[in-house]
Amino acid sequence: MNRTLPVMTRTINHILEKSIPLPITTAAVRIARQFADQQLTPEKQQQVYFNTLAVCAVHDYMQMMDIPTDLKASDSWNPAIRIYHDAADLKLTRLGQLECRPIPATCWQKSGQPICYIPPEMPDDRIGIVVVAIDDLRQEATLLGFVEKTATSELYINQLQTIDDLLAYLERLELPIVAPVPAVKLSQWFQNIFATGWQSLEALLSSNAANLAPMLRKSARNPGFFLDETRSQETGFLGSERSLTTNNKSFSAANLKCFEQRDATKSSIKAAKLIDLGIQLGNQSVVLLMALTSEENEKVGISVQVHPTLEKYLPPNLKLVMLSQTGETVQEVASRSQDNFIQLRRFKTQRGTCFSIQVHLDDLNITEDFTV
């Protein structure tokens, strides 16, 4: 005699029929072990190991479905975040972060039992949660299903939608397209009009932003801090022998000659912007300095420097790059192990010219677009 299955069991069977089994690749195991070995306790090692296998499985499936991903932009790929958080996300390009929660393979086979634990620190901006059963012995990862959101710390099988539903959901999902940041109009600086994030050097001197002002004030009062700009233009580097330090906090003002007004008859303006270098350097920041001078024949002279804020020296191999409007590198300079600032060679350009300045360090690349 046929018996009608309970609703929950029937739903579970439907989910399992639609689940996607995938092999756990050798590369995924290698990466998971590498990430796990960086942890301090066995419990944390196991957590990171299974999280990484789950992320790799979802990543492999997205690649099969031609859905672009960005592993390096995922929290789960950030070593600092892995240490302090239960991170198991995958960045889907132009869509957002997709949570990939692993569970032991035996857990989801028990009807009515919690199949997945959701950590309280999981960010609210996740576009969805995929549950992945990990069978480490069989080297198999099974994509069970997903939910868009959950208000509880536990997910049950009957709460999941199928992986087919996930694909349909991703097709519908569209994040707002972020409008490109308009180019900074340098001509407005002569009218003391600055784009967001920029401020005049005078305004920086009158504030206590990032502990920079005391060092700058001291530099501004000391005419002896100017060095010969000719040598700096030839080498791309400035000497560090005259840097100013206070309690190991330094704004490397050893050479601000390029920010000095050479001719009182010419209009000149200086501006600065703080740039965060990211969590990988302990939230260090640097300051980007630019000086403009009105020149003859409608030209503008431009000087660009980068200084550390709270540290004595810049991070090694921090690059300051100037790009043309077509994206070609015009000039580039990189910091050495004990450079307390770097600068590009001073240049002159016609009004209306467009160019970009990049501050580049490892995977971080900050670009500012300008029009003269």
- For residue range 303-330, what is the model confidence (pLDDT) as tens digits? 999 988 878 888 899 999 999 988 899 9
Beta bridge partners of 96: 92
Q: Give the best-scoring range by mean pLDDT among 52-61, 133-142, 170-179, 282-291.
A: 52-61
Last residue of one domain, picked from the residues 172, 193, 208: 172
Same domain, yes or no: 190 and 323:
yes
Q: What is the pLDDT of residues 31-84, one digit of tens each?
A: 999 999 999 999 999 999 999 999 999 999 999 999 999 998 899 999 888 888
Same domain, yes or no: 226 and 325:
yes
Burial of 106 (0-12, 13-18, 19+ CB in 10 A): exposed
Mean pLDDT, range 284-296, rounded to an integer = 89
Last residue of one domain, picked from the residues 125, 152, 172: 172
Mean pLDDT, range 233-260, rounded to an integer = 36
Mean pLDDT, range 160-166, rounded to an integer = 90
Same domain, yes or no: 114 and 253:
no
Model pLDDT, residue 250? 40
Structural domain of 259: 184-371
pLDDT confidence band for 175 (50 / 70 / 90)? low
Burial of 256 (0-12, 13-18, 19+ CB in 10 A): buried
pLDDT confidence band for 348 (50 / 70 / 90)? very high
Residue 355 backbone phi and psi in degrees, to 5? -155, 170
Model pLDDT, residue 163? 92
Per the CB < 8 A criterion, the answer to whether 357 and 367 are in contact is: yes
Same domain, yes or no: 363 and 268:
yes
Same domain, yes or no: 133 and 53:
yes
Count of CA atoms in the C-beta half-sphere (13 A) of 338: 5
Same domain, yes or no: 189 and 308:
yes
- Tokens encoding 191: 């009218």
Q: Is residue 2 part of a domain?
A: no
Same domain, yes or no: 163 and 224:
no
Helices 42-64 and 26-37 cross at an angle (nearest 10°) of 150
Asked whether the predicted pLDDT for residue 243 surpasses 90, the reply is: no
Q: Is residue 123 part of a domain?
A: yes
Model pLDDT, residue 354? 94
Last residue of one domain, picked from the residues 139, 172, 205: 172
Q: Is residue 109 part of a domain?
A: yes
Q: Please tell me the distance from the alpha carbon of residue 321 to that of residue 360, in angstroms, as a whole number.
A: 8
Q: Is residue 321 part of a domain?
A: yes
Question: Order of strands, edge to edge, in the sheet holding 364-371?
Answer: 184-185, 364-371, 354-361, 319-324, 329-334
| pTM of the predicted protein model | 0.48
Same domain, yes or no: 33 and 128:
yes
Asked whether the predicted pLDDT for residue 120 surpasses 50, the reply is: yes
Count of CA atoms in the C-beta half-sphere (13 A) of 370: 24
Q: What percent of the chain has pLDDT over 70?
A: 75
Q: Is residue 77 part of a domain?
A: yes
Q: Is residue 228 part of a domain?
A: yes
Q: Please tell me the distance from the alpha carbon of residue 288 to that of residue 201, in angstroms, as a whole number.
A: 11
Report the number of distinct structural domains present in the chain: 2
Same domain, yes or no: 14 and 144:
yes
Same domain, yes or no: 110 and 59:
yes
Same domain, yes or no: 217 and 166:
no
Mean pLDDT, range 173-202, rounded to an integer = 82
pLDDT confidence band for 178 (50 / 70 / 90)? low
Same domain, yes or no: 297 and 215:
yes
Residue 173 region by backbone torsions, left for phi larger than 0, else alpha for psi between -120 and 50, else beta: beta
Least confident of 51-55, 98-102, 165-169, 231-235: 231-235
Q: Give the best-scoring range by mean pLDDT among 28-37, 206-215, 270-279.
A: 28-37
